[in-house]
Amino acid sequence: MKAHAGELGAIAHRWFEVMLGCGDEVRELLHDGCPVACLGDVPFGYVNVFTSHVNVGFFQGASLADPARILEGTGKSMRHVKLRPGAAVNAIAMSKLIQAAYSDIKARVENGELKRSRRRNKMRNPPGARAMREQPLREMPRIWPNHTKLLVDLALAALGLMVAAPAVAQDAPTTAPASDSAQQAPPSSPDPAAPGAALASPDAVWQQNLAAWRAAREQGIAAPNGWLTLIGMDWLKPGVNTVGTAADNAIRIRADAPEHIGILTVIGKTVQLLAPTGGFPADLQVDGAPAREGELEAGSSSPASIAQPPMPSNPPVLAWHGLTLAVLARGDRFALRIKDADAVARTGFYGLNWYAPDAKFLVEAKWIPFTPPRILKIPTILGTTIDLPSPGVAEFRLGNATLRLEPVLEEPNSQILFFLLRDATSRTTTYATARYLHTGLPDHGLDLPGTIILDFNRLENPPCAYSLYATCPLPPEQNRLAVAIEAGEKRYAP
């Protein structure tokens, strides 16, 4: 596994975590170091790590819809997607393939098709099937090419697709590996101390958790209501504001939507929704119910949030298919936030860019509390400032430098610390204005001296890295570091 502790391992972990997230009944099997995602005992996907790329494979791939044409392979049933470090990945297409593979196997199981197939092939499973056992995927092991054939045979036997299974002797000598692999396969029952054994270690657990976190972040960015769907942010002027795609609207929407959606009328501190001539479009909803004329409960701005200052709580939302229009109260004004699930930025999303995981950027910092807490003036991309409490400072070393960062609290009782920072990589490889880091609280709480863990491998871009219409806070002067932190998320390149 040590050979795959970098980018290849991260790629494999990321997509295997997506497979495991398809349903509560999905479990992971490890066969000769091969991670397989199964519905019960029926496999539907796997990951295979080579020396220069990762294959994400599907046992019934030939039957899956592949509009993005990312599947490779010419076999009767098997297909895979080949992923290389640094190459663009169509994350949405990948996620859809994984979900389709899971749904396909689930339907076959529910229809009884696979149960009959398993009985039919009961006596023809390879002898090596006895070695397949369930165990936690603590570390992504090297997947050996000569064992891939055995894995495929096992899967096809379970799916009822093998006409005849080859006789595989468990103690047979290993064959020479394919050109993608640099080493020979280990024996089928490796010594736990051998380099190829899958051992639980702090490093392996850390890498697995980091890969899962990064995968979840990418899924959030690409979600139907994520930042990539934000296509507009318009102030509502006092009086009448017509909304729709037609040119005669005060707020014109650049999306596939009705010409006239509605009329938002601002009167003092209230917003009323009125129907356009001809009535509301069919299927238009307000907060999940059919649209009706009346006052919208826009409320007032909540205390400023670091993630999107200031934001109203539970704003009213007009929705038409994948289009959403949220009425936001900002101080004594109102704005209309427009999101489109079919925005080009989302449909063309190919994943985020990351530095390879590096444990040297996982640091234990000294926590020095402020008594009393200080108020930091946090600048925003709009040129305004927000006053937020800072409970202390984290002091740590990177290389020969001693550094300090002051976090803030979004809410008075928050259990999450928010670090806004910028480092020397902002001039070359990372987002120019800021990156964010979320952490838990120090080991002895906020009020006492102690330690806090900072994992800069989880540095992330602010929302304004993905949309021109997002408003983002910026780092205070003391959090602008002269050193380069080559970890976490890089610049987003659509």
CATH number of the structural domain spanning residue 333: 2.60.200.20
189 and 273 within one domain? no
H or E stretch at 212 = helix 202-221
What distance lies between CA 153 and its chain's CA centroid? 32
Last residue of a domain, one of 295, 323, 347: 347
259 and 122 within one domain? no
What distance lies between CA 312 and its chain's CA centroid? 25
| Per-residue tens of pLDDT for the chain, all 494 residues | 334 457 788 788 878 877 887 777 888 887 556 688 888 878 899 898 888 888 899 988 888 988 888 999 887 888 999 998 877 777 777 877 888 888 888 888 888 776 533 333 332 333 333 333 333 322 333 333 333 333 434 444 444 443 333 333 333 323 322 223 233 333 233 332 333 233 334 578 888 899 999 999 999 999 998 999 999 999 999 989 999 999 999 999 999 999 999 999 988 888 999 999 999 999 999 999 999 999 998 765 444 343 444 433 578 999 999 999 999 887 788 999 999 999 999 998 989 999 999 999 999 999 999 999 999 999 988 788 889 999 999 999 998 999 999 999 998 889 999 999 999 999 999 999 999 999 999 999 999 999 999 999 999 999 999 988 888 899 999 999 999 999 999 999 87
Residues 6 or more apart whose Cβ sits within 8 Å of residue 24: none
Residue 128 lies in a domain: yes
CA angle, 402 as apex, 401 and 405 as ends, to 5°?
120
Separation of alpha carbons 133 and 81, rounded Å = 26
Separation of alpha carbons 44 and 388, rounded Å = 49
Residue 136 lies in a domain: yes
Question: Alpha-carbon torsion 182, 185, 190, 191, what sign?
Answer: negative
Question: Cα-flanking dihedrals φ and ψ of residue 464, to 5°?
Answer: -70, -5
Are the CB atoms for 60 and 77 separated by under 8 Å?
yes
144 and 36 within one domain? yes
Prediction pTM value: 0.58
User: Pick from 270, 317, 261: which is nearest to 289 by CA?
Assistant: 317
Separation of alpha carbons 477 and 377, rounded Å = 10
Residue 185 lies in a domain: yes
- The confidence score (pLDDT) of residue 34 equals 66
259 and 174 within one domain? no
Give residue 171's identity as a one-letter amino acid code.
Answer: D
Residue 490 lies in a domain: no
375 and 232 within one domain? no
Last residue of a domain, one of 320, 347, 374: 347
Helices 7-20, 91-110: crossing angle, 10 deg rounding: 40
Q: Quote the domain boundaries for residue 455.
A: 359-479
- The confidence score (pLDDT) of residue 188 equals 31
237 and 323 within one domain? yes
- The confidence score (pLDDT) of residue 346 equals 92
59 and 143 within one domain? yes
Tokens of 129: 């099937």
Residue whose entry in the numeric block shows the structure tokens 């209230």: 270
User: Pick from 135, 123, 128, 140: which is nearest to 174 by CA?
Assistant: 128
Strand order in the sheet with 289-290: 230-236, 333-340, 323-330, 317-320, 285-286, 289-290
268 and 177 within one domain? no
- The confidence score (pLDDT) of residue 375 equals 95
H or E stretch at 207 = helix 202-221
Separation of alpha carbons 432 and 240, rounded Å = 39
- The confidence score (pLDDT) of residue 19 equals 85
Residue 19 lies in a domain: yes
Residue 489 lies in a domain: no
Question: Alpha-carbon torsion 44, 204, 223, 317, what sign?
Answer: positive
Residue 273 lies in a domain: yes
Are the CB atoms for 369 and 338 separated by under 8 Å?
no
Are the CB atoms for 284 and 261 separated by under 8 Å?
yes
- The confidence score (pLDDT) of residue 141 equals 31
282 and 268 within one domain? yes
188 and 311 within one domain? no
303 and 192 within one domain? no
Separation of alpha carbons 280 and 481, rounded Å = 53
Q: How many domains does the chain have?
A: 3
Residue 211 lies in a domain: yes
Last residue of a domain, one of 221, 243, 267: 221
- The confidence score (pLDDT) of residue 131 equals 33
Tally of residues, the chain: 494
253 and 208 within one domain? no
- The confidence score (pLDDT) of residue 412 equals 85
CB atoms within 10 A of CB 59: 26
